[in-house]
């Protein structure tokens, strides 16, 4: 099969022929019809994650089951499926309680094992992790759910408990941020989107953002307080830097809730700094959001089938494997107003 291969941290990825994967015990092999290019893939390529080399990136995917491992009972060859980017083991207390996204023995395609920038991918613990794609949902839309959209959905619905009428500030209008804008509006919130890319903010406006702010070096938090009349009730950092996290936290009103979705990695490996004085004095809640377990997908998929949520609107472009290999090293500095989707069969 053809796949994007990374031979060394920071080395230019190449598209090469490699052997097709075999289905692990309890797992499946999926023919990939769509897979997203995400900033998390760039984090792994640059060395912020511990990956074994050579490596195939890719963790947002949708496709068709082509092979079953021993012990799989809920799935058959030919099933249309997607999967959360966290594959729970299926046996621990967190998986049994429906919280596979924090499974201590989790696998992650594109991180702990070869991922979906390929024609085929092997997936683990299929009976726990696979999600059936409804007939009315396409592969591109389903693939966009696995990381960015599902993480934003769970972050706003289950972690922050965003309510109708509340103010939501979304810092970063890439795939995660635009997902949060769409979901926030569907929940009845008033949304402020912040980004340095005017094109991304234009898309946020199309998705219903009530206000947009250009991150041009001005005081973002002060601007949020002005727009919202005292700060937002909920803030999301969808970028993952000390500055964007601080802007999100400082833009909250007293007793506000902050959801950290962007990976807070520092170049020197040190712990990131956050404005903890404000967190303490204003009794702010700091919440992490690490994807969403397969058990929580039905509610989100029902909204998509009804048309309340339309993740396919977030797809900016579809590329092949060669273009994906070229885009990965520059993904951190390429202006993107939405999700880049890869079609490995293209």
d(CA 82, CA 58) in angstroms, rounded, equals 13
Given this structure, which CATH class describes domain 2-143+310-342?
Answer: alpha beta
Query: Within the chain, which residue ranges are assigned CATH 3.40.50.720?
Result: 149-288
Alpha carbon distances (Å) from 98 to 93, 164, 294, 317: 9, 26, 8, 34
Angle between helices 242-250 and 220-228 (to 10 degrees): 30
Q: Could you confirm whether domain 149-288 is CATH 3.90.25.10?
A: no
Residue-level pLDDT, tens digit, the chain, 346 residues: 999 999 999 999 999 999 999 999 999 999 999 999 988 899 999 998 899 999 999 999 999 999 999 999 999 999 999 999 999 999 999 999 999 999 999 999 999 999 999 999 999 999 999 999 998 889 999 998 878 899 999 999 999 999 999 999 999 998 899 999 999 999 999 999 999 999 999 999 999 999 999 999 899 999 999 999 999 999 999 999 999 999 999 999 999 999 999 988 776 778 888 999 999 999 999 999 988 999 999 889 888 888 889 998 889 899 999 999 999 999 888 777 778 999 999 8
Residue 325's closest CA among 33, 52, 139, 57?
A: 57
Buried b / exposed e over 151-169, threshold 16 CB at 10 Å, is bbbbbbbebbebeeebbbb
Instruction: Fill in the DSSP letter of residue 85.
Output: S
Query: Within the chain, which residue ranges are assigned CATH 3.90.180.10?
Result: 2-143+310-342
3-class DSSP assignment, residue 178: helix
């Amino acid at each position: 099969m053809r796949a994007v291969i990374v031979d060394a941290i920071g080395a230019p990825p190449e598209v090469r022929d490699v052997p097709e994967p075999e289905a692990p015990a309890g797992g499946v092999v999926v023919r990939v019809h769509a897979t997203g290019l995400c900033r998390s893939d760039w984090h792994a390529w640059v060395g912020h994650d511990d990956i074994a080399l050579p490596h195939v990136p890719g963790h947002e995917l949708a496709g068709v089951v082509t092979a079953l491992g021993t012990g799989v009972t809920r799935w058959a060859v030919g099933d249309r499926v997607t999967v959360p980017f966290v594959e729970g083991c299926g046996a621990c207390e967190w998986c049994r309680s429906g919280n596979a996204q924090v499974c201590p023995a989790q696998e992650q395609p594109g991180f702990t094992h070869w991922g979906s920038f390929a024609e085929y991918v092997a997936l683990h613990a299929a009976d726990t992790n696979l999600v059936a794609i409804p007939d009315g949902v396409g592969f591109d839309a389903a693939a966009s759910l696995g990381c960015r959209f599902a993480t934003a959905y769970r972050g706003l619905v289950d972690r922050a408990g965003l309510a109708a009428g509340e103010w939501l500030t979304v810092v970063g209008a890439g795939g995660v941020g635009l997902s949060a804008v769409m979901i926030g509006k569907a929940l009845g919130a008033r949304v402020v989107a912040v980004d340095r890319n005017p094109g991304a903010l234009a898309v946020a406006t199309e998705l219903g953002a009530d206000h947009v702010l250009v991150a041009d070096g001005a005081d973002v938090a002060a601007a949020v307080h002005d727009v919202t009349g005292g700060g937002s009730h909920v803030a999301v950092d969808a970028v993952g830097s000390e500055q964007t996290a601080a802007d999100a936290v400082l833009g909250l009103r007293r007793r506000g809730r902050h959801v950290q979705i962007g990976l807070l990695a520092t170049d020197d490996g040190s712990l990131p700094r956050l404005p903890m004085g404000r967190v303490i004095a204003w009794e702010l809640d700091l919440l992490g959001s690490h994807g969403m377990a397969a058990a929580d997908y039905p509610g989100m998929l029902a909204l998509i089938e009804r048309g309340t949520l339309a993740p396919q609107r977030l797809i900016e472009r579809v590329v092949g494997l060669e273009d994906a290999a070229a885009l990965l090293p520059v993904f951190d500095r390429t202006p993107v107003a939405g999700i880049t989707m890869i079609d490995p069969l293209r």
